[in-house]
Structure 1
Amino acid sequence: MSKQLLVVDDSTSMRQMVAFALTSGGFQVSEAEDGQAALEIARTRSFDAVVTDVNMPRMDGIALIRELRQLPAYRFTPLLMLTTESGADKKMEGKTAGATGWLVKPFDPEQLVATVRKVLA
């Protein structure tokens, strides 16, 4: 059975690009438009990994990661940041929140798929 991923981004086109890359890589993908929506979905479903943007309305990606890490089902789940943010401070904030990895947009679809496979191995 293929791995279940949750992609979180407030940009519909970015969500679609990420979902297309991951689906092409053999993953099953669900989508959420912000951290709040993602948290609601994650409380009712289990995902093998989450790929989230940082800057979003209602709940940003770092707050989402903090919240997910509080849920027993997501304590050890790979949580990847995919964002335009590349500053060391933001990366450290993400790591402290519990992010597994950090990818910068624009992204290379093959690199994204390879990174997700690596964290799931």
Structure 2
Amino acid sequence: MSTASALAASLLIELTQYTGIYGLIGCSYRVADVDDVLTNTLGGLLGALMAPLVLRWMPQPRELAGSRLDPRPVTVWRRWLGMVVDLFAVSALAGARRRRPPRAGHARPAGGPGLRGAGPLRGARGRRSGPGR
């Protein structure tokens, strides 16, 4: 059953790519490929074959229910893992915030922040220069 659902999901995705989202896009930039269908179906088959092995390794529901309310100590390694995960998450979010382009209407002036009144029509003393002055 899982292999058939993997085949159906893969066919649906490839059909979406082949038709250009069912005719919504005139010229689709994605290419449908039979190899994708075969490898995705093979992945579903391998997952179905490996699932009983993984489920044997997992604890049974009655074991979980019996120890659900027991407190578990927070070990040093769990604390370190939590801190490392937090560090990577904060670093990723800070890096994404730094690379974000400015919003429309909030762009800096071309001359930079210190050159706000010095345009091309102003002379050395700040008076306008050019014809008529």
Same fold (TM over 0.5): no
Instruction: Tell which structure's C-alpha radius of gyration is larger.
Output: 2
Q: Say which structure, 1 or 2, has more relative contact order (CA 8 Å, 6+ apart).
A: 1
Taking structure 1 as the reference length, what is the TM-score of the superposition?
0.19
Structure in which a larger fraction of residues adopt strand = 1
